[in-house]
Structure 1
Amino acid sequence: MLTATKNFKSSVNIKFDLENIDFLKKYMPTPSHAEALHGVLNGFNDTSNRRSHIVIGPYGTGKSLLGTLLAATVSKNINNRDFNVIRKKFASVDDDIHDELIKIRSKEKRYLPVVLNGYEGNFKNSILTAIQKTLAQNGIGIIVPGVMFKILQTVDNWKENYPKTYKNFKSYLRERGKHIDVWRLEVQSQNFNEINWFKSIFPSLTSGTEFLVDFSGDFIEQIKFIIDELKLLDIGLFVVYDEFGRFLQSLEHNEVNETMQNLQDLAELADHYTVDLHLLFITHKHLRHYFSSFNQELQNEFQRIEKRFKLYYIDSDSSTFFRIAQTAISNLYDINKSLFNVTEITNQLRKYPLFPELNQVEVENLIVRGTYPIHPVTLFLLPQLSSLYGQNERTLFTFMESKESNSLYKHLTGKNNYYLPNQLFSYFFPNFFDVDFEEKDKIASLYKGIITKIPEISYPTKIGIQLLDIIKFITLWELCGLQSKVKLSTDFIAFALNVSEVDISEELKVLQSLKAIRYNRILGYWELFEGSNYNIDELVAERSEQLKIDKEKILSIFEESLTKKYFLARKYNDEKSMTRFAAVNILFSSDILLDKHDPNSILSKKNTDSLINLIILESQNDRDDIIQKIISKNDQLSFYCIHPYALETIYDSISKQYIIRNLINDEVLLNSDKNLKKELHLHLENIKHDVNKFIKIFLDFSSELTWFRNIRKIKIDNEIILEEQLSQLMFGLYPDTPEVRNDGFNRRKLNNMQLKAGYKVVNQLLTKPYIQNLGIEGNGPEYLIYASIFKNNNLRLNELDNIKSPELNRLRVKLLKLLNEKNSGSFQDLISIFTKKPFGIRQPLIPILLVALIRDKWDQILFYNNEMFISQLNGEIIFSMVQEPEKYNYVFLRLNDEFNQFLSIMEQIFSDYIDTGNIQTIKPILVSQAILKWLRSLPRFVQITRNLDDELVKFKDEIRTSEIDPQKGLTLLYERFKYSPVNLEKFVRRLNNEYSSFKSELVNELFNTVGVKDLIELQTWIKQQNPIFYKENNLLRSLNLHLESEDWIERITSDIVGVELSNWSDKTKEMFLVQVKNNVSKLEEENTSDNNSIVINFNNKRKIIKKAELSTKSITLHQNVTRILKNGGRNVPKEEVENIVLLLLEEFVE
């Protein structure tokens, strides 16, 4: 039976509990209070310490109790016997606090507690008012200057505006035998009795209104006045402001600045002006957090003010919480504890980490025995719920002593069994559906949906009650987010609800079938679940008739489940300072048996150094054949791993996964039920879990796996062994990989910054190979490339025959061997030396090492793309060539003495066209480019005309061959002129003079066509022509305009055919001569016809007008112009009209 014992205080109000000695005697010292107690007491005992304090902590952590204890202690209102009871509690807990208590007790000075709670109005007024009340309660007659002024001001106001009140007031004075003037003098002299008398009669004069003082004077000066007066009495003040956060939350925006200033000044006063004022503000969070809606500047200001105080943090301390619970139960109830099995409960608790901070002895004594009849899971859940949803209304203490429905007291009425965690649901949420949960509390919405949708759970039957208890417990657990601490497994739910595991399993199955809960197989716990109205298995079966899954889709599902896509050759990578790895490749047994598996293709596709082939057997009968096939392949770059189970064992799950994904994409179906999509996703996760387990056999290196490397069966038990085997493989394949310690560059793919740095290094190799550091300055990525390749390997371009790095030296030897044995070939041949064994160099390094290691031979190498010579090489082009080496060819030039001598002659002949700034270009290319440049400098006509003798045409063609193939072009010229270089110079001179010869020839042909012998006769011929023909005859007009110019032939030819003479072709010349003949013939015809033109000499110009009949439109135009001139010219002088006519003649007549 339940027996109520001593009263247990559930909450604290400092104002009312300050003198409750019994309450203070029950205080239990807690570690979370230690720092605050020590700090505040030390401020009283040691004047060098801080006296302004803020205690911060969540609800239910005993902050108010702490304030009450401190106020009672420093006020000296506790007798020695009671004080010793409190003191002794700390003797065995904290020696420092015990000593501080003794010190404060031994001091003569006492401190009056000034207690405030929550919002009590304006900060300054509330502090001063509280001080005045405290002084009055303690019979101390100190009047703040503002009080006297306020009293006299009030009486003057009555006299002026409220005569009736003033008359009543004087009646009170007469009853006391006082004259108004005498009384005013006594108030002005701060007579305590007169001031208190006025305060006492004020309500009777003002209909019950209390006399309040606005304390409009300087706040700090008023506090100083009080402190100084109290100091004379050897008394101090201890201001305790509980629930200070509520005051801050209630502040109006216009009060913030004043409050901040007063708060700061008060802290400064306590810590620097006097030892007789101590402050303790109690809040739930930092001051700045109460102003999150204000601007950042105000928040920062409160943060600065907060630094004026010493801060203490009080957290919920689990072990203390449990001890308080034990004490509370022993104080409140007499419990028969013989009815439960201590050993069984203790053993159960070993399985679940509910109380990790306690050892097993503490668990048994404190949790199992000490807090019975509260179930251990209930005790664990209670503070979690209280901190989230209880605040001050539902704490451990209210739970212990409350007589509300579903409280511990109500539970134990007539019972003596466990209070289970599901019962907390009804205690904390007696009206769950009316609680306004935050939006983030989706669990609450889920619970409401389940209860509404599945009424069977709420039936008042035995099974209905049991099901609802389970739902309530799961809901509470998830509301508090406790799945991460202890998962709601079947056995844990049975333990928490004190039900057998067999019974709870059946009840969980019922709830699962009702779609109220589900078991999360991935995370391993039960959780709330609101399902759809569909039967998912039926949907899958129906859709499976329409959808069939092929091997490609099965493979993609397997690859999704593969959480580890590659393995590293760690030992090799550490030694070579690079990253080599093997990619995991899933394939079917038929791929091997039917020779569909191409390792090289997959290596290239996956961009990997090696392959780990995970083989899925399509039939267990394939195993032996697969093993034989693997051995026969002798694939040196791959590992093969055969899965122990055939595809058929997991096929149904894969098929369902594919079908459910299809259902998830069916918008019409999903729109028919709001919960269907979520349920499908949950089903999908469960099915994926099965597939993941199938693949995990490989990732866990199960002993059932069968491994092969090359032709040998190997044993691989874990990832370390696999990576060791992979390192051995890499050492065997690529022992000569040079060490380049640059993770950002020595890799398969580069980012843009590294790529551009690579371009720059190659450009420096081409242009400044022998300058210190290749001319690279600073510490950018290009310098890191230089340092890691050249500096670290002691690679110097002027000492390539003495390379210190054995790997780089062997690489150079192979490159030179290829060039010497095969002076032309595919660029791929050069790149393969880098990429294949024994070097296996990463692609980004190849352009740099290629140019560097054969830099002394680089100027003798020509590169071609589709048989087109690449005339200009730079870093970007070389990097692109390395990416697609199969598209390019190389030619290595080996130059003999005769050829070099011939090149020198050509260099001399074409010296004006040699690009001296292009020092990285080899001599043959420089000469070839110079010849081409010379040819292109000639007038275009000379470049393209074929009307030359065959030798000159052949010479030009040989030069043009160099444009496509410099080697071939130079060879042709060498073979032709090696014994007669004089002829080469003659050919050059002839082509240089060809344009002048061409112009002279063209002039003669013009003369012959016109029928003159020289320029003088041509001028005479022009003058003989009728001026009227200048207008229409192009030849005559052009000759008349340009014949006086030195370049008259260029101008005339341009006028006639519209093409500059230097850009003519042979066809253009033919067209010109034809047009000249036509113009001359036309002139001859017109000279024989009648003269039908009018010639006007005007302004030193000859104007020719051809006679013509006017059309109707022209006649109308003439009439309009005449009318305009006549009508508009009436007021205009005749001379101006004539000039208008002249202007029209000038503008319209040619």
Structure 2
Amino acid sequence: MSILDYKKIEQGFKYSVNLKFDLNNIHKVKNYIPTSTGINQLKQIILSLFENSKDRRRIMIGPYGKGKSHFALMLLALLSYKDREPLYPVYEKIKYKDKETYDLIVDIFEEKKTRLLPVIIQENGLDLRQSLLLAVREALERENISELMPKTFFHSAIEHIYFWKNNYSDTYDKFIDAVEDGEKFIYNLEMYDEHTYLHFTDLYTKITSGGRFNPFNTIDVAEFYEEIVIKLKEKTDFDGIYIIYDEFSKYLEGSLSRNTANEIKILQDLAEKCEASGENQLHILLISHKSINQYTHKLPKEKLDAWRAVEGRFKQIEFINHSSQIYEIISTVLYKDIDKFENFTYNNRERFDQLYKYTLESNLFKDFEGKDIDSLILKGCYPLHPSATFMLPRLSEKVAQNDRTIFTFLSSGDKNSLFDILPKEDGFYTIYPDKLYDYFEFNFKKETYNSEVHHIWRKAENVLNKIQEDDITTRSFIKCLALINIINAPNLLTANIETMKFLLGISIKDFEDTLNNLINNRYIHYVRSIDQIKIIESSDIDINYHISEITEKKRSQISVKNLLADHFSGYYEEAKKYNDDYEMTRFFEYEYITYKELQQISDWSKKTDMTVADGFIYKIILHSSDEISEIKEYLKSIVEPRVMFLLPQEFINIEDILREYDSVCYLLNDNNFISQDAYLKSELTLFKQDLFEEINSKLQNMYLPEKGNLEYYNGGKSIGIYKRSQISREVSRICEQVFYNCPVIKNELINRSNPTGAIVSALKKVLNAIFENKGKPMLGLAGNGPDVFIVKTVLINTGILENTEEYSKFIIDNADEKIKNVFELIDAFIFSASNKTKCMIELINLLSGDSQNIGMRKGLIPIFLGIKFFEHRDKIAISSNGVEYELTPDLIMVINDKPEKFNIYMEKWNVKKQRYIDDLRKLFRSNEVETNIIFPEYEIIVKSMRRWFLSLNKYQKDHYISNDCEYLKSSLRVMQINSREFVFEKLPDKFGFDTVDVELVNDISNLKRQIDDSYYDLLAKTENQIKSIFWDKNYNGQASLTSLLKIWYDNIKEKYEACALLSNEERKFISIAEKPSNNEEELIEKLSFQMLRLRTSDWNDNTLDEFVDTVLKTKNSIEEKIHNSLVENSDVRQKSQERILFDTRNVELSPTGKILKTGLENTFEQFGNSVNDIEKKHILIEILKKFI
């Protein structure tokens, strides 16, 4: 096309900011507009300010007009301004864009007070050394700290000149004669002019007759800067230096023709010094239009390698962002012959006008003025179609991360590039977006396999492979769809009908035919509810058939209301104004309801008590238009304040589409069905999204007040609500009407129905502190934890707790009326339980319900209960299922969670009861255990009685004395005892008293004494009966059991030793009798354990007889065996000087003994004559000896 001249490409655009002159221009600093590119670079630079960072050398690359200098100006202001307040507007802009970067700014500049000295270098024709030295001097002078400038050989030369002038006039005259203009010479030295300095060194040699001026050898610029940084840190509030070389590209352009070896080394040394600077911070930022390589790629290899080494030491960052500037670049690249193009646009004005109209309607360039769209987008970027102009930079950014591929598309001769596809002949020709797909396809393909771009390309390719190559329009349709998805800019570019028409540029008929063909072939899906076209990977299964089948199967199984509840469940409406006033969160819950259900509810207050919400907003589901008038009349009869009703004024049928949606969801959850085809899930998901949007749109038409199709009812009246914000105000009004007595507690962490686990733990700590009642400041709690916060907000700030540095105490009268009302209700409830049990659910409902207009959150209730329960602790009893529980903080928490399971009882007190309690407590005082927990006295008594019972031995517990004793013991055996009931009701009733009485204590004392003494009575009886066994009429009646046993032993001791027939048990009995204990209780204990293997404390009522009988039998057996060992009917045999006794008494063998006897006989028979009789006898006797 002859109107284009591709050889003319603009190099860049100038920008108005001048860093050196605008550094303190706060107006320009404030005008900085953060972009994503700028924010990202700023974040990285701020991170480099941490002392351990090594990332302190950068080169920023971007074409003219990209805002590089403006960014640098803002950066230097952040780094250097001592007064930060003027920068706050910039802070806010950055905060809006990126909170993380803002937090870094606050941390580094506001909290750590980091401040760096800006050193600004601008191209001035000087060499790099001069530029760096002059720039740092100017920076120090700007801050009035020029004395920190280290002494250089330039300064030394100047000092020598002034020394000659003041001390050696002849030498100075020679100097003036040689340089002609002394002042200019000194000025050039002050400007660090190296040629002037070299001239001075030559003059010095001549003037001083061969002397050599060389005070510093050479200046190492990197070391020079490091020295300044150290001085800055020591003597100022600067933490280092930040070097910015603006227009570094100009230096590169001008230095390539010079011998730059020294300057390359300076750059390398500076970069290395920056990297290693640590806490002595030194940074450098070079600003260039292009990379170093782009400027140096034509240099000889030696220089090219040197510059590549420099480039490698700097982190390269690209600075390209604003779309308008990119469009200008595109326009500049597409340079056109002005005269020819004016004629061309005039000749094709109708086409341009039509394209302008469609472009405006597309909203792709809604931020542009119409004239800019015409001049820049349509004509400046021609022959690109406006949509292609819009997509080109965004595609390049997506797949290449910079705009260099824009230039390759516009200016190279690659396949599918602009050069390749434009016809050579003149004429009106527009490049549509599908051509961009062809050019960038390789980029899409090489994207990471699991990336979104690659996924979109693959899905598009699957469809394109099914479409004929010559079907250009259909293929272009799919390519444009893919590009829209890849660009992913839904606020600007969406795949709706009108956009697709604009992108394709075909007739309406061709477009409709193409669209329908793609839909029918299930290559795309049109989501009508949101006007969106999507590429699908369709399956071979007839989805519509399966949806219809499921719909009919489930039609009778689930109602429309349940479908709405399952898939479009209601949300919550907060009472925002009420919540602000009362420092809490109240809300109404949305629910669906049918007219039939409305008629079935008789008590709406019960309905509202069944939820954690403070009320309901019911969306009425209509089944026909005929219901509307009837429902209106019925709603007038419902006066419950905590329910609102939404009645649509028009019937909209959503049942069919709702059931279809439910069927799609059902199929999506059916793994067996989904697994039949790889594309089923994605296709069904599109169906689901489409149906969801359509249903949601219908529901909004039905229940959104802005649609004007809705009437609200509350308290039997229609109320005017026309927008969403009014609903919250109405809910607030209702809450104020119903819950005006709710205390204001400024702690939303606890002022809620379900506090978190951490807050519950803190609440328990507070309750423990209340129950311990130490009177210490803050109830004895310390620190800054949630428990202390609860004490401050719930108790101290409300006036419930008076807290000083010395003490804390509860003074409820100081609290406001709403809080006092809560305590009065709790008191009244407790007193109403006087001499009768009441369920705790009544109290919790009073506090949390609306009957008293309180509606307190359950998170707060335990504190109020704890204060009052502790106050009445000695009078109240808490029980559940007849079992009384200790009044503890944990119990209060359980009561709060499940109040319906607990009852409260308050004992009515009088002098008689107190005396009864005092005497009963005194009776069991020895069994009391001290504790920090304070219990009612009757509970302390029952605990002591139980400890007494548990201290009894087994005999005392089991021995029957009387029915009354059995009752007392059996009552105390139970682990969970209702203390109040036992002390005040059961004991008096059992022992025949109408009420508690001191005489009852005497009866209990008598029973206690009988039970305590029963064991000692047993021992006495045992002693007497054993004595009777060993008694002889010749003995003195005063003889003790010990004496009797000793006498008995003395009578047998000479005889029993020769008796081999005594068993081990009998011998042990004799050993006890040999040395009987003088402690007869101990003696009986030994005999009991020896005879019965049982201690006396473990006896029962039958054990005594058993014990006496055993002792008697043992005594008799011993005496009989001793006697038999001495008489003639004992068989005594003497063999091998051994005396062996055989008891000839008949012994009845057990079954096992018989088996052993038979076995031995069989064994002897088996050996027969192989073992003679003498050997057999010997064997038997040897075996027998082991058992004697």
Give TM class, smaller chain: 0.5 to 0.7
Query: What is the alpha-carbon distance in structure 2 between the residues aligned to residue 579 and residue 63 of structure 1?
Result: 48
- 1:375 equivalent in alignment to 2:385: yes
The equivalent of 2:349 in structure 1 is 340
SS in 2 for 1:1066: coil
CA contact (8 A) 1:1054 1:1060 kept: yes
Aligned equivalent of 1:805 = 816
Determine whether 1:1007 maps to 2:1027.
yes
Q: Confirm whether residue 505 of structure 1 aligns to residue 503 of structure 2.
A: no
Q: Which residue of 1 aligns with 2:622?
A: 617
Equivalence for 1:1130? none
> Corresponding residue for 1:899?
913
Structure 1 residue aligned with 2:524: 517
1:417 aligns with 2:428: yes
Matches within 5 A, 1:857-876: 857-870=872-885, 872-876=886-890
Structure 1 residue 345: Cα displacement? 3.4
Change beyond 3 A, Cα 1:110–1:795: closer
CA distance in 2, matches of 1:284, 1:600: 76
Q: Which residue of 2 aligns with 1:933?
A: 947
- State the partner residue of 2:895: 881
2:179 alignment partner in structure 1: none
Give the aligned partner of residue 140 of structure 1: none
Report the CA distance between 1:728 and its aligned residue. Answer: 2.1
Instruction: Tell me: CA distance 1:1093–1:736, structure 2 relative to 1, closer, same or farther (3 Å).
Output: farther
Deviation at 1:281, TM superposition (A): 8.2
Aligned partner of residue 395 in structure 1, secondary structure:
helix
Aligned match of 2:536 = 529
Report how far residue 806 of structure 1 moved: 0.9
Partner of 1:813, secondary structure, is helix
- Amino acid paired to 1:658: D
Contact 1:639-1:707 at 8 Å conserved across structures: yes
**Deviations along 1:155-179, whole A, 9 cap, x unmatched?**
xxxxxxxxxxxxxxxxxxxxxxxxx
TM-score normalised according to structure 1 size? 0.68
Partner of 1:465: 472
CA distance in 2, matches of 1:109, 1:783: 65
Q: Is the 8 A contact 1:610 1:637 kept in 2?
A: yes
Match of 1:1051 in 2: 1086
| CA distance in 2 between partners of 1:108 and 1:869 (Å) | 93
1:747-797 per-position Cα deviation (integer Å, ceiling 9, x unaligned): 111222211222222122112264332211212111112122111111138
Instruction: Return the alpha-carbon distance in structure 2 between the equivalents of residues 657 and 703 of structure 1.
Output: 27
Shift of the alpha carbon at 1:879?
0.8
Q: Pick from 1094, 1097, 1104: which aligns with 1:1062? A: 1097
Partners of 2:271 and 2:538 in 1: CA distance: 61
**What are the superposed Cα offsets for residues 549-600 of structure 1, whole Å, 9 maximum, x if unpaired?**
5235x4453135437511111122112211111111223333223x168756
- Structure 1 residues 903 and 483 mapped into 2: Cα distance closer, same or farther (>3 Å)? closer
Separation in structure 1 between the aligned mates of residue 320 and residue 637 of structure 2, nearest angstrom:
70
Range that drifts further, 932-941 or 835-844? 932-941
For 1:480 and 1:545, the matched residues in 2 are separated by: 41
Corresponding residue for residue 711 of structure 1: 716
Contact 1:240–1:280 (CA<8 Å) still a contact in 2?
no
Q: Retained in 1: the 8 A contact 2:636–2:715?
A: yes
Alpha-carbon distance in structure 2 between the residues aligned to 1:678 and 1:278: 49
Aligned length, in residue pairs: 894
Does the aligned pair in 2 maintain the 1:1006–1:1073 contact within 8 Å? yes
Write the letter of the residue equivalent to 1:821: S
User: After superposition, what is the alpha-carbon deviation per residue over 1:789-838, rounded to whole angstroms, capped at 9, x for unaligned?
Assistant: 11111113855562422112112222222333331322223323322232
Amino acid at match of 1:703: G
| 1:850 correspondence with 2:865 | yes
CA pair 988-478 structure 1, distance change in 2 beyond 3 A: closer
2:769 corresponds, among 764, 767, 771, to: 764
Instruction: Return the match for 1:551 from 534, 553, 558.
Output: 558
Deviations, residues 1077-1135 of structure 1 (Å, cap 9, x unaligned): 66567678878878899999xxxxx99997899958779999xxxxxxxxxxxxxxxxx
Q: Give the match for residue 970 of structure 1.
A: 983
Return the offset for 1:1000.
Answer: 0.8
The counterpart of 1:841, out of the listed 853, 856, 861, is 856
Does structure 1 conserve the Cα–Cα contact (< 8 Å) formed by 2:61 and 2:287? no
**Match for residue 586 of structure 1?**
592
Instruction: Report the counterpart of residue 688 of structure 1 in structure 2.
Output: 692
Residue identity over aligned pairs, in percent, reads 17
- 2:934 is matched with which residue: 917, 920, 924? 920
Residue 566 of structure 1 is matched in structure 2 by 572
Q: Scaled by the length of structure 2, what TM-score is found? A: 0.66
Partner residue of 2:677? 673
What secondary structure sits across from 1:964 in the alignment? coil
Offset at residue 449 of structure 1 (A): 0.2
**Is the Cα contact below 8 Å between 1:421 and 1:473 reproduced in 2?**
no
The residue identity in structure 2 corresponding to 1:612 is I
**Alpha carbons of 1:960 and 1:366: their partners in 2 closer, same or farther (altered >3 Å)?**
closer
Instruction: Measure the CA separation in 1 of the matches of 2:948 and 2:724.
Output: 68
Q: Is the 8 A contact 1:515 1:531 kept in 2?
A: yes
1:352–1:633 CA distance, 2 compared to 1 (3 A)? same
Distance 2:1118 2:128 in 1: 139
Matches within 5 A, 1:243-258: none
Aligned residue for 1:820?
Answer: 831
The answer to whether 1:911 aligns with 2:925 is yes
Partner amino acid for 1:450?
V
Could you report, residue by residue, the CA deviation over 1:336-376 in whole angstroms, capped at 9, with x for unpaired residues? 11213344433433334433553332222222233333221
1:997 alignment partner in structure 2: 1017
1:323 equivalenced with 2:343 (yes/no): no
How many angstroms does 1:850 deviate by? 0.7
Deviations 1:30-64 (A, max 9, x none): 5499889999xxxxxxxxxxxx9853447999999
The one of 1013, 1018, 1021 aligned to 2:1045? 1018
Distance 2:632 2:777 in 1: 58
1:988-1025 deviation line (CA, Å, top 9, x unaligned): 55544443222112222333456667412234445667
Alignment check: 8 A CA contact 1:30 1:320 kept: no
Q: Confirm or deny that 1:8 pairs with 2:27.
A: no
Alignment map for 1:585-604 (pairs within 5 Å): 585-593=591-599, 595=600, 603=608
User: Residue 1072 and residue 826 in structure 1: after superposition, are their counterparts in 2 closer, same or farther (change >3 A)?
Assistant: farther
Q: Deviations over 1:512-562 (max 9, x none)?
A: 22222223456543232221223322332344454445235x445313543
Trace 1:106-505 onto structure 2 (pairs within 5 A). 240=252, 263-264=268-269, 313-331=318-336, 334-335=340-341, 336-338=344-346, 339-341=348-350, 342-356=352-366, 358-389=368-399, 394-396=405-407, 398-400=409-411, 402=413, 407=418, 410-425=421-436, 428-429=439-440, 438-440=449-451, 441-455=454-468, 458=469, 460=470, 464-501=471-508, 503-505=510-512
Unpaired segments of 5 or more residues in structure 2?
24-55, 69-119, 133-218, 224-247, 257-263, 278-283, 294-309, 803-808, 1134-1138, 1148-1152, 1165-1180
Give the C-alpha shift of residue 105 in structure 1: 9.7
Q: For residues 1130-1145 of structure 1, what are the structure 2 equivalents within 5 Å?
A: none
CA contact (8 A) 2:636 2:716 kept: yes
Query: CA 1:655–1:1022 in structure 2 vs 1: closer, same or farther (change >3 Å)?
Result: farther
Secondary structure of the corresponding residue to residue 895 of structure 1: coil
Q: Confirm or deny: 8 A CA contact 2:799 2:814 kept in the other structure.
A: yes
> Residues 561 and 695 of structure 1 are in contact (CA less than 8 Å); yes or no, is this contact kept in structure 2?
no
Could you say what secondary structure the match of 1:551 adopts?
coil
SS of 2:593's partner is strand
User: Which residue does 1:182 correspond to in 2?
Assistant: none
Specify the code of the residue in structure 1 equivalent to 2:345. Answer: K
Structure 1 residue identity aligned to 2:2: T
Give CA-to-partner distance per residue, 1:446-485, whole Å, 9 cap, x none.
Answer: 1110012344xx3x2xxx2222222222222323333443
